[in-house]
A and B are shown apart, each in its own frame.
Chain A
Amino acid sequence: LVALAPSRFELHARNPERGLVFGDRHLVIGAVGGPAFVPDLDRGRRAGNIADFEAYVRVIGALDVIHQEGGGPLEPTDLPVETRHLDMYRLLATLLDKTWQCLASGRTVVDDAIEVACLTRGVDRDRLAREPSLMTIVNSNSPLRLDGPMSEGLIEMATYGQPVVATPFTLAGAMTPATLAGALAQQNAEALFMVALAQIVRPGTPMVYGGFTSNVDMRSGSPAFGTPEFVKAAIATGQLARRSGLPHRSSNVTGSPTVDAQAAYESEMSIWASVLAGASLLYQGAGWLEGGLTASFEKLILDAELLQQMAEVLAPVPVDAEALGLEAIAAVGPGGHFFGSPHTLARFETAFYQPMLSDWRSFEAWQEDGSRTATERANRIWKQLLAEFVEPPLDDGIAEALDAFVQRRKREIAEGR
C-alpha cells in the first residue's frame, strides 16, 4: 500500500509561479501553523485572534522565503469554533497567492477547504484531485492511536486526492519509549499506517512522511525541541522516508519561551538537521515559538533570516574562469586590495547574501543608532513589511464567490447542517 503513494508530486497555487514540488531534491518551507497564542514586543503575549491572524498572514505573504502557509499561523480563538475555519480560509485564499494548508480535524473543515480551493482556482473537484492545491498535517495521537476527527480529515483529504503530511506525535519519554530507536520505530509504524490508510481510500493519494520525534524533559514532562535528540531523529527520519520512497517533513522547532538566544540556536539546530536529512517540507519553518504554543511576530522575522541564509548556503558555488578571478588576483598583486578592482565593481552589489536582520556595523555605530538587539530590529521589520504589503491581485468574481460561500456555509452550520 505504501508503494502506491508517489515519491514526488506537485502542489498547485493560485499563482502558477508559486506552485511547489515535493520530492526529488526540492525543499519547501512552510510557515508556522496552529499556535494558541501570539506575542510581539509591543503588546506581549495574548490569545490568538482574527486581527492578529490577518496581520500574520500578510507578513507571511510578504516573505518570499516562505513557500507555503502552514494551516493558520495562529488560532483565532475570538471566533466561534464551528465556523472559525471559514473565516481563516477566506483570508488565506484572498491574501495569499502561494499555497496554504487547511485544517484536518474532521470532515467538514476539509470539505469546506476543498470548496474554497476549487473556487479560488476556478476548477472542479476532479481537476483539483488531478492538480492538488491543499495539504494538511494529520497527527496521530501517539502512542498508536489516530483519533476520530483526524481519521475523518485524512479520509476526506484522500477522497479528493489532496496530499496529507502523516505526522506521528512522538515525544520520546512520554508518547514513545525513552530511546531514539524505540521512538523512531514507533514513528515509522504510525506514519506508514496513515500512508496506507490514505491509499486504501484512494490509491495514489500523495503523502508526506512526517517526522516530529523529539523528547520530553524527564524532570517536568514538558516537551523539548531543537535538542540533540531531535537532530538525530530528524536525520534518521530522512533515511526512513527514503526507504519507503516518500517525501518527508521536518520542522523548525524550539522550546524557548521568548525570542532569545535559545530560540535562535534551537531553531538553527532544527533547520540544519532538516537540511542534512534532505527534508522535502520544512514545516513550522517560521514563527514557531514556545514548543508550538505561540506564533511570534519577531520570531517570524528571525526565522526568515535563518532560512534565507540557509537557502543561500544551499545555492551551488559557481567555479569558472570568471568566478575564479585569476586576472583580478594578478592585477591587484601582493599587498593591494580588491575594493576598486573591475572584477569587484562588476558584481559587488550581488556578490554576497544581504541579510535582512543582521547588524554588522561597529559597536559605536550600533550604539549611536539605539543599541537595538536582533529581536528589536525584527519588531521594526515585521511592522514595515505589514505596512507595505500589497495584496496579490484576485479576480473580483472569485472574491465575491468566496464571500458568498462563506456566508452560505455559516448559515448552514447555524442551522445544524
Chain B
Amino acid sequence: MTSDLQAAMRQSVIDGDARRAAELAQQVLAAGLDPLQAIDEGYVPGLRHVGDRFASGEMFLPEMMLAARAMQEAIKVLEPEMARRATQRQVLGRVVLGTVSGDIHEIGKNLVAMMLEASGFEVHDLGVDVPIDRFAEKAREVDADVVGVSALLTTTMTSQRTVVQALERAGLRPKVRVMVGGAPVTRGWAEEIGADGYSEDAVGAVVLARQLVGAA
C-alpha cells in the first residue's frame, strides 16, 4: 500500500468525507490490497487524530461524528472482502450498551456507541428503556466484555446499580466489566455501585473501554 493512499485514507476520516473514504476503500479492493491493513494503517490513524483534537478542544463534536461516519462507510465497503479472505478486523472487545428502563434519553449513549464502533469495538446497542435483566441476557448471548449502562435522570440512575447486581446474579461478574454514564453520574457513584468506570463523554468512554479490555 502506498503511503499516498494511506495518507489519503487518513485525511478522508479527518475531513469527515464519507464518500471519499468509501471511494478509497474501493481503490483498495480494485488494487487487491489487504482490507485489514487499509483500516489499521489508513483510516484508524485518522480517527485517532480526530479523537485527540476533540479531546483538546480543537475540533467540534459534529466533526468527530462525521469522522466516525466516514470510517464506518469505508469499513462497510471493505467488509465483504474481509469475509471472503476469512479475515476479520480484530475486535477490541464486545460491548453491550443501553439506557435503563424508565429512561428514553439516548443522545449521549448513541454518541458512545458510534465512537466505540468506529474505534474497533463490536457494539450491541439495546436502545432505550431497557429492562434490567436484558443487559445480562445480551451480555451472555454475545459473550460481552463490557456492559455500558446509561441513565440521565436521578430517578433512573439507581437502576445502574440494579444492572450491576443482575450481572453478578447471572454469574457474569467480574469478567464482564461495567461502565456507566449520564449527566448525574460521577466517579463516586460508579465506585459506590461497584461499576468499573464512568466517563464524561464519548471520547472518554472509548479510552475507558480500551482500558477495561486491556487494550490501552
List residues of A whose CB falls within 8 A of some B CB.
Answer: 34, 36-37, 47-48, 75, 77, 81, 105, 141, 145, 147, 149, 174-175, 216, 218-221, 293
Cβ–Cβ contact A145 & B104, under 8 A: yes
Cβ–Cβ contact B61 & A218, under 8 A: yes
Nearest chain-B residue to A171 (Cβ)?
A: B107
B91 contacts the other chain (CB 8 A): no
Query: How far apart sit A81 and B60, CA to CA, in the bound complex (Å)?
Result: 37
With A37-B184, A147-B104 already in contact, the answer to whether A81 and B158 are too (CB < 8 A) is yes
Which chain A residues border B211 with CB–CB below 8 Å? none
12 contacts between A and B (CB under 8 A): A36-B154, A36-B184, A47-B189, A75-B154, A77-B154, A105-B155, A218-B62, A219-B54, A220-B57, A221-B108, A221-B111, A293-B184
B102 contacts the other chain (CB 8 A): yes
Query: How far apart sit A175 and B107, CA to CA, in the bound complex (Å)?
Result: 9
Q: Which of A47, A81, A219 contacts B61 (CB 8 A)?
A: A219
Nearest chain-A residue to B54 (Cβ)?
A: A219
Q: In the complex, what's the smallest C-beta–C-beta distance from B51 to chain A, in angstroms?
A: 13
Query: How far apart sit A152 and B61, CA to CA, in the bound complex (Å)?
Result: 35
Among A36, A47, A48, A147, chain B packs the most CB atoms within 10 A around the CB of A36
Which chain A residues border B104 with CB–CB below 8 Å? 141, 145, 147
Cβ–Cβ contact A219 & B102, under 8 A: no
Query: How far apart sit A139 and B32, CA to CA, in the bound complex (Å)?
Result: 54
Which chain B residues border A219 with CB–CB below 8 Å? 54, 57, 59-61
Which chain B residues border A149 with CB–CB below 8 Å? 102
B183 contacts the other chain (CB 8 A): yes
Q: In the complex, what's the smallest C-beta–C-beta distance from A33 to chain B, in angstroms?
A: 12
Query: How far apart sit A145 and B188, CA to CA, in the bound complex (Å)?
Result: 32
Query: How far apart sit A221 and B107, CA to CA, in the bound complex (Å)?
Result: 10
B81 contacts the other chain (CB 8 A): no
B201 contacts the other chain (CB 8 A): yes
Q: Which of B107, B157, B189 contacts A174 (CB 8 A)?
A: B107
B138 contacts the other chain (CB 8 A): no
Which chain A residues border B62 with CB–CB below 8 Å? 218
B105 contacts the other chain (CB 8 A): yes
Query: How far apart sit A47 and B161, CA to CA, in the bound complex (Å)?
Result: 15
Query: How far apart sit A147 and B106, CA to CA, in the bound complex (Å)?
Result: 12
Nearest chain-B residue to A290 (Cβ)?
A: B183
Which chain B residues border A47 with CB–CB below 8 Å? 188-189
Query: How far apart sit A145 and B129, CA to CA, in the bound complex (Å)?
Result: 14
Nearest chain-A residue to B108 (Cβ)?
A: A221
Query: How far apart sit A149 and B105, CA to CA, in the bound complex (Å)?
Result: 13
Which chain A residues border B61 with CB–CB below 8 Å? 216, 218-221
Q: Which of A37, A145, A218, A293 contacts B60 (CB 8 A)?
A: A218
